[in-house]
């Protein structure tokens, strides 16, 4: 289990389990390069979820959009999460405090 990086692949992930939590399809997924145990998913259910791959559990459910989340990313310092949705909202979150920072 875990993320593996090589020169040939930007990110190669061996899937041997399923993370359950979203009620409909996942539209965006981001694996943090600094912490290989962290994945963030965005869905048509309008939620972003922060997953811990060590425990295979959702650590945080972020409800910040009115329509599907189409993109997300984590800043290089692994502290700031950015989500964007079909509702035209771009939201930033502090992952350490799990609080919204800005909404654009």
Residues with Cβ within 8 Å of 20's Cβ and at least 6 positions away in sequence, in order, are none
DSSP letters for 34-101: S-TTEEEEEETTSEEEEEETTTTEEEEEEE--SS-EEEEEE-TTS-EEEEEETTS-EEEEETTTTEEE
Within a domain: 45: yes
Within a domain: 66: yes
- Mind listing the pLDDT tens digit for each residue in 26-44? 999 998 777 778 899 999 9
- Residue-level pLDDT at 90: 96
Within a domain: 11: no
Within a domain: 12: no
Within a domain: 10: no
Within a domain: 21: no
Within a domain: 4: no
- Answer for the pair 70, 85: CB distance below 8 angstroms, yes or no: yes
- Which domain, by its residues, includes 44? 26-103
Within a domain: 55: yes
d(CA 103, CA 90): 6
**How many domains are contained in the chain?**
1
Q: Provide the pairing of β-strand 3-4 with 12-13.
A: antiparallel
Q: Enumerate residue ranges in the chain where pLDDT < 70.
A: 1-15
CATH of the domain at 78: 2.40.10
- Per cent of the chain over pLDDT 70 is 85
């Amino acid at each position: 289990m875990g993320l593996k990086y090589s020169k040939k692949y930007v990110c190669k992930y061996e899937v041997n389990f399923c993370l359950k939590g979203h009620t409909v399809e996942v539209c965006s997924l981001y694996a943090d390069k600094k912490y290989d145990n962290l994945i963030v998913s965005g869905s048509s259910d309008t939620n972003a979820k922060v997953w811990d791959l060590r425990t295979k559990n959702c650590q945080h459910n972020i409800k910040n959009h009115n329509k599907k989340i189409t993109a997300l990313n984590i800043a290089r310092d692994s502290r700031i999460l950015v989500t964007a949705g079909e509702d035209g909202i771009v939201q930033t979150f502090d992952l350490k405090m799990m609080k919204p920072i800005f909404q654009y």
